[in-house]
Amino acid sequence: MSQQFNKDMTFAQALTTHPDVAKVLRKYNLGCIGCMGAQNESLEQGCAAHGLDVEDILRDLNALPR
């Protein structure tokens, strides 16, 4: 993965970028894999809707091995 995760990516984009993204999202109780909003909702929008800090999730996503 050469691209860093960012707050403007949709959940669907993030999920196709790295095989361990789903594990990180589950850590934050985000069931984005089956959510219809995952196709259009950005990481920032989803985090805001769930009362989460997008920076925490981005830190974990960008720490995934490349």
Which domains, from first to last, does the chain contain?
11-61 (1.10.3910.10)
Average confidence score pLDDT of the chain? 89
Q: What pLDDT is attached to residue 3?
A: 63
- Alpha-carbon distance values, 55 to 3, 14, 16, 37, 49 (Å): 17, 15, 20, 20, 14
pLDDT in tens, 26-49: 999 987 666 666 778 999 999 999
Q: What pLDDT is attached to residue 32?
A: 66
